[in-house]
Structure 1
């Protein structure tokens, strides 16, 4: 049997049996139970409401979440079903199509929808629909799912400038791929916020995630005990992520690099001088 769309429950007429998703055991695994009576007036005269909980939830990619659909207990004996759908889509959710989705009953007046291993594509607003006698009764208020990917771990490295000898040191801070895009990246030198020499670039990769690369150019002579920190704040993090580099830890790298470039200059100079001697000798012999 084909997939049943939400449009089939939008009218006031009873859904034909051939189109009733309840008849398709492979299409839906929803909540269905025999409602118990209310002590008040007939449910047909009551304008009941359907609520959902939580209204909004934020989880990290790969996490699990459960939504609840809450509705009243009806006086008359009636069959009630709960269907779930995602805002912007025309089909009800099906566990047969995605095994990460589970549906069931939680008590007498609520149904649940559990999503396992959330992906970025799962983010959105989810609604439940209460179906009575094959008719759409009410839609739930909606539950907003936000899926985050943290920008950690951070990578902080140092290097010398290849194009500007007046810049003794350049530090580069790179984030891991993350989502959503909004973030704050701050540089500190010896605990004091840096305000100049900073270049930050953001790119979006093929997965739709964001990656940030930020550089700090140190214009002053590098001290042997200086400390540089890259701090990143993001909605997925309870506290900012930080990466710290101490120049004392990499002093040998600076010294070794300096010796390399000095030795290279001396070697080139020596070869040039030797070449001049050979040319001068050749000219002298030709006379």
Structure 2
């Protein structure tokens, strides 16, 4: 490890101690305080300091991590005219956290920012409803599946012909390696009707809704009709044969 990097790490440790102690420099102004964006969006945060002083270096770190953030294809830094900028491209839920800036001059800390809290949301829409195998031959089971979402809290309900269904509902939730959640709500029903899945989430101003129609089973009606028709033909045949035997 080079002497320059070692000095930076020592300065960072001192800065973290300052943040914990709620001590920040009046010469450094970090903004905005809070950022709320959707997954995949680009975001920037800023660190401002007096331009009357000599050119300074600005470094950024994320709370809970031990090293300064390094530039890469998603993370870009710029210092110009008394302002340091940290741009984050294509944000994911793994980027959620509090970010701090630190202003250095000749490897000496001039001050640090008060922090920017980044929150990344992911919407559960679009929804999808698909029929799946039921627990019996006579049942029709429906699955209402969300898209990947964040944060975790979500509410899923069902309606049949616009009347809320309170029983026979099962919800399964999974979390991906990226930290996103997916949920499936299963409903077992046999009645022909319009079924609507409603999903409430922090990313939605109103619940998302998707409907599915279960119709009468035309194949079963056809089979029953054929069976009844065959029975009528058989009865008529027996009657005709009987009448013919009597006439002879």
Q: Residue 78 of structure 2: SS of its match in structure 1? A: strand
Deviations 1:146-177 (A, max 9, x none): 22222222111235734374xx5432211123
* Compared CA separation, residues 169 and 99, structure 1 to 2 (3 A): closer
Aligned equivalent of 1:196:
167
Deviations 1:11-50 (A, max 9, x none): 89xxxxxxxxxxxxxxxxxxxxxxxxxxxxxxxxxx6242
Q: Tell me the CA shift for residue 190 of structure 1.
A: 2.4
CA distance in 2, matches of 1:84, 1:122: 14
Q: Tell me the CA shift for residue 73 of structure 1.
A: 4.2
Q: Residue 56 of structure 2: SS of its match in structure 1? A: strand
> What 5-or-longer segments of structure 1 have no aligned partner?
13-46, 267-287
Is it true that 1:212 corresponds to 2:183 in the alignment?
A: yes
Instruction: Please state which structure has a larger fraction of its residues in strand.
Output: 2
Aligned equivalent of 1:105:
79
Aligned equivalent of 1:56:
34
TM-score scaled by length of structure 1? 0.64
CA distance in 1, matches of 2:182, 2:13: 47
Q: Residue 152 of structure 1: SS of its match in structure 2? A: coil
Return the match for 1:148 from 115, 118, 121. Answer: 121
Return the match for 1:232 from 194, 199, 203. Answer: 199
Q: CA-atom RMSD, angstroms? A: 3.0
CA distance in 2, matches of 1:230, 1:71: 52
Return the match for 1:178 from 136, 149, 169. Answer: 149
Q: Tell me the CA shift for residue 113 of structure 1.
A: 0.7
CA distance in 2, matches of 1:64, 1:262: 61
> What 5-or-longer segments of structure 2 have no aligned partner?
15-24, 228-248
> Aligned residues, how many?
214
CA distance in 2, matches of 1:122, 1:11: 21
CA distance in 2, matches of 1:205, 1:255: 41
CA distance in 2, matches of 1:222, 1:175: 24
Aligned equivalent of 2:48:
70
CA distance in 1, matches of 2:47, 2:163: 50
TM-score scaled by length of structure 2? 0.73
